[in-house]
Amino acid sequence: MLALGGAIGCSGTPSLNVFVPTTITDADADAAYEAWKTGFLEDCGGGLWRVRWSQADLTVSEGIAYGMLLTVIHDERTIFDGLWQYYKNNRDDRGLMHWQRMGCEGAPSGDNAATDADLDAAMALVMASRRWSTTPYLADADTLIRAIQTYETATGTDGISLLRPGDAFGPCLNVSYFSPGYYRVFADVVPDQADLWNKLADDTYTLIGRAAHGTTGLVPNWCDENGATRPAGPFGCANYTNADLYGSDAARTPWRIATDYVWFSTPEAHTWLNKVTSWVKTVGITNVVSSYSLDGTPVGTSHNIVVVGAFADGAMAYDQATADEFTAEAVALPPPTSYFQTNLRALYLLLPLGRFTPQGGQ
């Protein structure tokens, strides 16, 4: 049992225990990264790089941002710079990358921004500024963080701070985009906005509490600010399939909340993660499937890294035996070949090794 959390731009937070898995090695994470590079990274020439989507001629901002996180942590600055250049080449008039573009040239395909990608890209720039100690990354992070604050946050009807899912979205929320650990770092990077980012971080847990099932802790793919959901999505933002399930969107939530816990020892993160982990233990980590009704009724059938890896990261808040067991299952899964699973596997395996840090893995 090691204490890894706390002290990164945070004060006054009780010290909580992080249980570091003993069932994973750096070689596991490095192999996942190399598989990602081989399967989805493309050198466009002239210093430009992109990440191929599941439809190989397309690139999405999510993939670019995942790639920026991975390459800074794995200390590949040339590729990082090329991915950031692709992001910059394909920004909208608000300074945020369009969510989908075609090929290396970035021909128009899907306009407007996706907030999770912008958050990950901003966090990767902060990591780069700390790992490689150069001012341009920090200045770029500052600019992007301010654009996110301006165009991708809002105030709810009761004064609660909300993270919009994009810069052109209606009144709906994607809980798996919530990144309170990032917000606390952004408060340190952009001190004149510190109160705004810290409130967004704190209000994250109020929103999760509204959306989560009282017994399982599971959250829906999409909901409104009161936690209400339905299969097509909340009213006013209803264009989805299975929005009311804990599915491939929501499945990332334990990873994002575990990041806040590991970095800042956030008590509310500890509470929610342990509720979810307690439920997973009743199912068995080797038995979890790709989607569930919020009450824990299985809907999907696939047992894959998207759910297993996030639950493994979340188990770092629970106890040593569970952290070891869940992480062992994540490592033991056959290497995936699909875009989403390959990207997330490479990211999920970094947190339990202490390599997913605000310093970019140093």
Please say if the pLDDT value at position 11 is more than 70.
no
> Could you give the number of structural domains in the chain?
1
Say if 211 falls within a structural domain: yes
Single out the residue of 173, 148, 177, 176 nearest to residue 162, CA to CA: 173
Distance (Å, rounded) from C-alpha 244 to C-alpha 267? Answer: 27
What CATH number is attached to the domain comprising 146? 1.50.10.10
Q: Of the listed 76, 81, 116, 249, which one is catalytic?
A: 116
Say if 7 falls within a structural domain: no
CA geometry: angle 232, 249, 175, nearest 5 deg: 85
Say if 204 falls within a structural domain: yes
Say if 358 falls within a structural domain: no
Distance (Å, rounded) from C-alpha 120 to C-alpha 262? Answer: 17
pLDDT in tens, 110-169: 999 999 999 999 999 999 999 998 789 999 999 999 999 999 999 999 999 999 999 998
pLDDT in tens, 261-303: 999 999 999 999 999 999 999 999 999 999 999 999 999 999 9
Check if 118 is active-site.
no
Locus of tokens 């929005």: 243
Mean predicted confidence (pLDDT) in 74-80: 98
Give the number of other CB atoms < 10 A from CB of residue 78: 11
Check if 116 is active-site.
yes
CA geometry: angle 358, 96, 173, nearest 5 deg: 80
Say if 4 falls within a structural domain: no
Say if 13 falls within a structural domain: no
Say if 10 falls within a structural domain: no
**Are the beta carbons of 65 and 124 closer than 8 angstroms?**
yes
Domain residues for 310? 26-353
Say if 232 falls within a structural domain: yes
Single out the residue of 45, 49, 46 nearest to residue 68, CA to CA: 49
